[in-house]
């Protein structure tokens, strides 16, 4: 399999339960809910994505012919102790490309593996941390994991329908964009009324890191 990668970089996880944790981000190209082109955004299932996942022209991006080649590119970005290696695999939709071979190659280099997925594709086994962020209009195929992050608000899509799924953490995150201030206000109000849900803030944007 050839892996198409937008970018690979060392940073801090900016949101959710692992916020502040040093991590290598591996961003795959492509998504099954939007092609990433602005001209097609209004016709996409997910219309509010704030990430560029098109092409392989990002920092350390490219096409990797083998899982070991890609894993080596990831470990080259890690600057800390071996015992704390942590990689967040994201996109786009990472489960279009993440496979057992890459999981095994990263584990062999002592990485704890996290993914950020829209939940439409059943994940392979042995992923250490699953964060699922469901989108209105999509078919969910992930029913258990570690973290459910709901981007709020979404039209005709209620976070409470996911409360019986087997996740350890439930987060509300205000939808970014021109209405962010109002979305944040609504997100805080939702958490007040539904204390099972905690507020997730995109701290990496506040402190201006990737």
Q: Which domain range does residue 78 map to?
A: 3-206
Q: Give the pLDDT band of residue 128 (cuts 50, 70, 90).
A: very high
- 182 given a catalytic annotation: no
- 51 given a catalytic annotation: yes
| Region 100-112 average pLDDT | 98
| Region 158-178 average pLDDT | 97
| Region 108-132 average pLDDT | 98
Active-site annotation holder among 7, 15, 29, 31: 31
Q: Give the pLDDT band of residue 1 (cuts 50, 70, 90).
A: confident
The CATH code of the domain that includes 137 is 3.20.20.70
Q: Give the pLDDT band of residue 105 (cuts 50, 70, 90).
A: very high
Is pLDDT above 90 for 131?
yes
State pLDDT tens for residues 55-84: 999 999 999 999 999 999 999 999 999 999
Question: What average pLDDT is seen over the chain?
Answer: 97
Q: Give the pLDDT band of residue 28 (cuts 50, 70, 90).
A: very high
Active-site annotation holder among 25, 150, 167, 190: 25
Active-site annotation holder among 15, 28, 29, 46: 46
The pLDDT of residue 162 is 98
State pLDDT tens for residues 172-191: 999 999 999 999 999 999 99
Q: How many CA atoms lie within 13 A of 55 on its CB side?
A: 5
Strand order in the sheet with 22-28: 62-64, 3-12, 22-28, 86-90, 112-117, 129-132, 144-152, 166-174, 198-200
- 49 given a catalytic annotation: yes
- 31 given a catalytic annotation: yes
- 104 given a catalytic annotation: no
- 131 given a catalytic annotation: no
| Region 88-108 average pLDDT | 98
Q: Which residues contact 48 (CB under 8 A, 6 or more apart)?
A: 151, 175, 176, 177
> How, if at all, do strands 86-90 and 22-28 pair?
parallel
Q: Tell me if 175 sits within 8 A of 15, measured CB to CB.
A: no
Active-site annotation holder among 107, 169, 198, 204: 204
Q: DSSP labels for 81-147?
A: -GGG-EEEEESS-GGGT--HHHHHHHHHTT-EEEEEE-SSSPPPS--SEEEE---TTS-----EEEE
Per-residue burial over 185-202, b = 16 or more CB atoms within 10 Å of its CB, e = otherwise: ebbeebbeeeeebeebbb
- 150 given a catalytic annotation: no
- Is 178 buried (19+), middle (13-18) or exposed (0-12) by CB count in 10 A? exposed
For the chain, how many structural domains are there in total? Answer: 1
| Region 75-99 average pLDDT | 97
The pLDDT of residue 64 is 98
| Of 129, 165, 123, 137, nearest in space to 48 by CA | 137
Active-site annotation holder among 7, 93, 116, 147: 116
The pLDDT of residue 206 is 95
């Amino acid at each position: 399999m050839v892996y198409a990668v937008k970018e690979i970089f060392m940073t801090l996880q900016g949101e959710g339960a692992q916020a502040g944790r040093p991590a290598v981000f591996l961003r795959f190209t492509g998504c099954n809910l939007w092609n990433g082109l602005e001209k097609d955004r209004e016709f996409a299932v997910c219309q509010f994505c704030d990430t560029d996942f098109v092409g392989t022209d990002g920092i350390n991006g490219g096409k990797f012919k083998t899982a070991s080649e890609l894993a080596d590119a990831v470990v080259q970005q890690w600057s800390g102790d071996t015992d704390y290696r942590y990689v967040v695999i994201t996109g786009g939709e990472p489960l279009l490309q993440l496979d057992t071979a890459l999981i095994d190659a990263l584990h062999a280099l002592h990485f704890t593996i996290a993914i950020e997925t829209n939940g439409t594709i059943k994940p392979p086994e042995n992923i250490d941390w699953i964060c699922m962020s469901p989108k209105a209009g999509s078919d969910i195929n992930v029913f258990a994991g570690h973290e459910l992050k709901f981007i709020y608000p979404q039209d005709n899509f209620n976070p409470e329908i996911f409360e019986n799924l087997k996740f350890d953490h439930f987060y509300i995150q205000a939808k970014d964009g021109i209405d962010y201030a109002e979305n944040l206000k609504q997100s805080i109000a939702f958490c007040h009324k539904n204390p099972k849900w905690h507020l997730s803030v995109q701290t990496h944007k506040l402190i201006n890191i990737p």
